[in-house]
């Protein structure tokens, strides 16, 4: 099973006055891990977009356990939970060392890039996601 992992240090701009990461930044970190997942699965975002498709987020959930702070070393990981021809769901873990900070999911639908209308994913891309293991 493919897993996308991004590691980075929390930047000052991602925090509030108390040095705690603002909740909106976790969605950005989810995206870092998701784009890494797609690249590791042989489906880099630029290639998907060049083929005329986009993944539009229809749902995002986050569960916070502990706060990330300025200067922390963070690991954001992503895996594909399920997918079909029209939609898919990813799950995420945000960790500081062995400590779990946040979990979450995003759901997406496939749309045509030119019209932004929902569509079915073509066989070639569908098969690549299938090979990535859901």
Which residue among the candidates 16, 63, 81, 123 is catalytic per the annotation?
A: 16
Is-contact 91 79, C-beta < 8 A? yes
The strand order across the sheet containing 87-96 reads 4-9, 73-83, 87-96, 99-112, 53-64
Alpha-carbon 16 to chain mean position: 23
16 part of the active site: yes
Euclidean distance between CA atoms 84 and 100, whole angstroms:
29
Residues that are catalytic = 16
């Amino acid at each position: 099973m493919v897993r996308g992992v991004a590691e980075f240090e929390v930047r000052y701009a991602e925090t509030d006055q108390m040095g705690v990461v603002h909740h909106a930044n976790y969605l950005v970190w989810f995206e870092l891990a998701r784009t890494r997942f797609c690249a590791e699965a042989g489906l880099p975002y630029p290639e998907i977009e060049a083929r005329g498709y986009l993944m539009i987020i229809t749902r995002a959930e986050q569960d916070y356990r502990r706060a990330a702070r300025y200067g922390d070393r963070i690991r954001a990981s992503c895996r594909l939970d399920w997918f079909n021809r029209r939609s898919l769901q990813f799950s995420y873990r945000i960790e500081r060392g062995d400590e779990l900070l946040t979990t979450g999911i995003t759901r997406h639908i496939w749309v045509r890039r030119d019209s932004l209308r929902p569509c079915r994913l073509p066989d070639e891309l569908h098969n690549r996601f299938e090979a990535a293991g859901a």
